[in-house]
């Protein structure tokens, strides 16, 4: 079994991270893919990969909620330095999130497009975060469409038409815990 998207390096898991990993391994999970958030979390993510090199596979990218005026370009420069220096399993978690702050749509779109370009140039998959932004994300993907553009819509929560649109573009759909919510 593979966990395609886990933030086990996050502070919220500090108390029981080792026990959680041991339980997952005992249950048959053999690989954990670790999406990046921003420069504040890179060291912890990479330290977890160092501790479990056969099981932990880090990604590198800038999460859309971390795309902020005044810092996003510096954050992207850090991501690019990592991509140039180390091997990562994917570029992620990237995308557009309009749930918390729609005023950053322009810079989120620029950051998303930049990271897609890096993925295409490196022939790497991407892991997409989309929240209340399917139309905006699909607009970017249609513009960037090429054989090298591929990946996963993580925690997909769209409708059937959006699912088909993602699959038609060559993407896989990740199913997260939200499918257990009543609504």
pLDDT digits (tens, 9 = 90+) for 33-58: 999 999 999 999 999 999 999 999 99
pLDDT digits (tens, 9 = 90+) for 110-123: 999 999 999 999 99
Q: Report CA Rg, the chain.
A: 16
How far is residue 140 from each of residues 28, 100, 109, measured CA to CA in Å?
37, 20, 8
Check the CA dihedral 141-149-129-41 and report its sign: negative
Owning domain of residue 56: 2-180
How far is residue 113 from each of residues 16, 27, 59, 64, 138, measured CA to CA in Å?
37, 38, 17, 11, 12
Contact yes or no for 24/32 (Cβ under 8 A):
yes
pLDDT of res. 183: 62
pLDDT of res. 33: 97
Predicted confidence (pLDDT) at residue 17 exceeds the cutoff of 70: yes
What is the tally of helices (H) and strands (E) in the chain? 6, 7
Predicted confidence (pLDDT) at residue 69 exceeds the cutoff of 90: yes
Residue 153: is it exposed, middle or buried by C-beta count within 10 angstroms (0-12/13-18/19+)?
Answer: buried
Contact yes or no for 150/171 (Cβ under 8 A):
yes
Predicted confidence (pLDDT) at residue 178 exceeds the cutoff of 80: no
pLDDT of res. 145: 96
Structurally, how many domains does the chain consist of? Answer: 1
pLDDT digits (tens, 9 = 90+) for 146-176: 999 999 999 888 899 999 999 999 999 998 7
Which has more pLDDT, 90 or 178?
90
Lowest mean pLDDT among 1-5, 15-19, 94-98, 121-125: 1-5
Q: Residue 130: give its domain's CATH number.
A: 3.20.20.140
């Amino acid at each position: 079994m593979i966990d395609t998207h886990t933030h086990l390096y996050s502070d919220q898991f500090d108390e029981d991270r080792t026990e959680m990993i041991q339980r997952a391994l005992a249950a048959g999970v053999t690989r954990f893919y670790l999406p990046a958030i921003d420069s504040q979390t890179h060291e912890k993510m990479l330290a977890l990969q160092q501790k479990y090199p056969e099981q932990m596979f880090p990604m590198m990218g800038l999460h859309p909620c971390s795309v902020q005026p005044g810092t996003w370009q510096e954050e992207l420069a850090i991501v690019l330095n990592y991509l140039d220096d180390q091997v990562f399993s994917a570029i992620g978690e990237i995308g557009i999130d309009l749930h918390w702050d729609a005023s950053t749509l322009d810079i989120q779109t620029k950051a998303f497009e930049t990271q897609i370009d890096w993925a295409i140039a490196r022939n790497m998959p991407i892991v997409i975060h989309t929240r209340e932004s399917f139309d905006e994300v699909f607009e970017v993907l249609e513009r960037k469409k090429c054989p090298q553009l591929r990946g996963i819509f993580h925690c997909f929560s769209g409708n059937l038409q959006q699912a088909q649109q993602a699959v038609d573009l060559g993407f896989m759909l990740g199913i997260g815990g939200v499918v257990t919510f009543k609504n």
